[in-house]
């Protein structure tokens, strides 16, 4: 009978005693979007895990942020065609994704462009 070296059993024994890897905790987010139009103000809030807030589709906004790694500047634009209307708005986005805080400002020619270019995060309609 062939003998097995005790040194070969140590990694196996260690593996048997290890806990299974746990799923990472879902990333929480708390985001405020404020928009200033030439004649009015608007805004929405988004929370993630669970999705909520005043955003018309918080689940999609959270999914877009998740795809971008929580970085609003890396949001993937939506594939939509917007009308060539001029109703400019200035948007401030501030909040947190996990432990990372952010604050930024954008300018858009209209609300459709704001929604499209922000991957749906800025949805004020």
Residues 6+ apart with CB under 8 A from 99: none
Going 34 to 47 to 58 to 22, the CA torsion angle's sign is positive
pLDDT at 110: 93
pLDDT at 12: 43
pLDDT at 21: 52
pLDDT at 37: 84
pLDDT at 68: 93
Kindly report the three-state secondary structure assignment for every residue of the chain: CCCCCHHHHHHHHHHHHCCCCCCCCCCCEEEEEEEEECCCEEEEEEEECCCECCCCCHHHHHHHHHHCCCCHHHCCCCCCCCCCCCCCEEEEEEEEECCEEEEEEEEECCHHHHHHHCCCCCCCC
Residues of the chain scoring pLDDT < 50 = 7-9, 12-16
């Amino acid at each position: 009978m062939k003998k097995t070296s005790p040194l070969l059993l140590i990694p196996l024994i260690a593996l048997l005693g290890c806990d299974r890897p746990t799923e990472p905790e879902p990333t929480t987010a708390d985001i405020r979007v404020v928009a200033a139009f030439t004649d009015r103000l608007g805004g929405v809030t988004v929370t993630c895990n669970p999705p909520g807030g005043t955003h018309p589709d918080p689940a999609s906004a959270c999914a877009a942020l998740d795809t971008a790694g929580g970085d609003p500047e890396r949001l993937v634009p939506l594939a939509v065609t917007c009308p060539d209307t001029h109703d400019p708005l200035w948007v401030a986005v501030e909040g947190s994704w996990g432990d990372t805080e952010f604050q930024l400002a954008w300018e858009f020619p209209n609300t459709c462009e704001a929604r499209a270019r922000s991957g749906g995060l800025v949805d004020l309609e």
